[in-house]
Amino acid sequence: MKIISLIAFVLCISPFLFSKDIISIVDILNNASKNHSSWINLEKNRENVKLNTVLLKESFLPDFSFGDGQTPIYTYGSQSEKYYHNISLITQMNWWLPTDGTLSISALDTISYAQTDDDNVISQSPVLSFSYTQPTWLSGKFIEPSLYSKIHRLQLDIPLNEDRIKYLIDRNNLIYDLIKDLLDIDNKKREVQLLEMNFKIADDELEVFKSNRDKGLVSGTDYWKKQLERDTIQDSLWEKKSNLELIVSRFLNNYGYSSKKDSLNMPEFPELPTIPLNDNPTPSLLMMLQKIKLEKAELQSTVYRKQNASYLTTSFSIAPKYGIRNDPSSFSDSLNFGTEDSYIDYSLSVTFKLSSKNIREQNTQGKIVELDYDTAKKEYEDTDRTEKLELQLLSDNYKILKDRKERLFSSINYAKTLFDGEKKLLGIGRTTPLLVQQAKFNYESRKNDLKNIENDLYLLNLKMIASKGYDLMILLK
């Protein structure tokens, strides 16, 4: 009865687990990017970084501002019907120069208009002004122009490089986990297949023991032990099959497939390039990321805040003025809105701002940045040591697996020779089908061990390739 139940269970789930329909690795990767929550969040975060980078780039572009307005000023004398209005159009452009000096250019075109009962006066005053501000003292030291150029470069380059590396690390990790899940399913499928073979052997052995017991050749205790052994294998097979079904169903659902409609067979994986594990000067992605963090700490832009700086400001303005009026005598004691002659008014001013408070704040901020840099440097050194240690472990594991693989070949060849010999003996009636099954099981077990090692080597190589900056999405497609 147990055998019939097991056969029914296998027939029920086998079409789902071992269907001939193959989902390709490309199909799985494409579905993952569209349906798996971690992949979706990764792409959303990447898009957010791109938008923030656009805003950062735009902050370095010239800033244009426009304004206009009309404002009643006051009534003139006792004649309340006389009003003055200012109509102004202001165009202002601000941008940062490569040395981080701020240059402002303003064009102020003001038209003053006085309205009375019988007179109109118009005075126009266009003004063009220039202002250049350069930070001179930060964190207890004078600033070299080249330093600001470097800061500006880092402000643009670091987010782009940091995002690119983080994105590649995260996506490679997701792909690695996906491949690992697939190979884990493959290992478990082969484990189930071996258990099925083992169960069939145990069941046939039990039939032999039953026959020998009936003939009085085997005691009831020995038969009971053999039955317990067979039942233990059967229970393990049921557990492994149920676990495999759950893993496959979870995998299909996570990557956008319907577990009721789709099936999963192991896709073919492309051959990977060989990465030398020893004496490889190429830094890993993690080390590249740590180096960026170290560079950020070394030139931390937050210490160079403009509001905390001491400045040298130079400004210059030109203001030609001219006016037209109908009746000058009626406005002789007014605001002196121009004459019919034009003239130019200009001014030049130089301002240097330096305060003890700023110096104290900058010195304190500088100490904070130095501590941050020391921390980042320590993290960089720790990561470097860890990476070298992991590289050595990968190299050792790789050598161990390769050695085991070579030794397995001889074991597989020996098991195959025994299996072939048993089949020949069966053909001439000098052995039993049960001994042939046992020889086949030993041969398939050795082949299964080899496949497990090959999967481990593939994952190890995949991990090494990903750490060196290769895009696994491109390699696997």
Of the pLDDT bands very low, low, confident and very high (cuts 50, 70, 90), residue 468 is confident
Of the pLDDT bands very low, low, confident and very high (cuts 50, 70, 90), residue 276 is low
Question: What are 108's two structure tokens?
Answer: 């102020």
Q: Give the side-chain half-sphere CA count within 13 A for 235.
A: 6
By the 8 A CB rule, do 435 and 422 touch? yes
166 or 153: whose pLDDT is higher?
166
Of 8-17, 75-84, 409-418, the least confident: 8-17
231 or 32: whose pLDDT is higher?
231
307 or 206: whose pLDDT is higher?
206
Of 24-38, 48-62, 181-195, the least confident: 48-62
Phi, psi of 137 (to 5 degrees): -140, 115
pLDDT of residue 16: 39
Of the pLDDT bands very low, low, confident and very high (cuts 50, 70, 90), residue 3 is very low
What is the average pLDDT across 256-285? 66
By the 8 A CB rule, do 233 and 202 touch? yes
By the 8 A CB rule, do 420 and 426 touch? no
pLDDT of residue 76: 44
What is the average pLDDT across 181-201? 93
What is the average pLDDT across 395-421? 92
Whether the predicted pLDDT of 416 surpasses 90: yes
pLDDT of residue 150: 62
406 or 77: whose pLDDT is higher?
406
Burial 1-27 (b: 16+ CB within 10 A, else e): eeeeebeeebeeeeebbeeeeebebee
Whole-Å CA distances, 268 to 22, 25, 151, 182, 252: 9, 7, 48, 11, 17
Of 137-151, 390-404, 422-436, the least confident: 137-151
* Mean pLDDT estimate for the chain: 71
Whether the predicted pLDDT of 421 surpasses 50: yes
CATH number assigned to the domain with residue range 2-65+142-310+357-476, chosen from the 4 options 2.60.40.10, 3.40.50.450, 3.40.50.10150, 1.20.1600.10: 1.20.1600.10
pLDDT of residue 14: 41
What is the average pLDDT across 254-282? 66
Mean pLDDT: which of 73-77, 170-174, 376-380 is highest? 170-174
**Residue range 96-148, pLDDT digits in tens:** 454 455 556 555 554 444 444 444 444 445 566 666 666 555 544 455 555 55
| Distance, CA of 75 to CA of 77 (rounded, Å) | 6
By the 8 A CB rule, do 337 and 112 touch? yes
pLDDT of residue 190: 94
Dihedral in degrees, nearest 10, Cα atoms 122, 125, 126, 128? -170
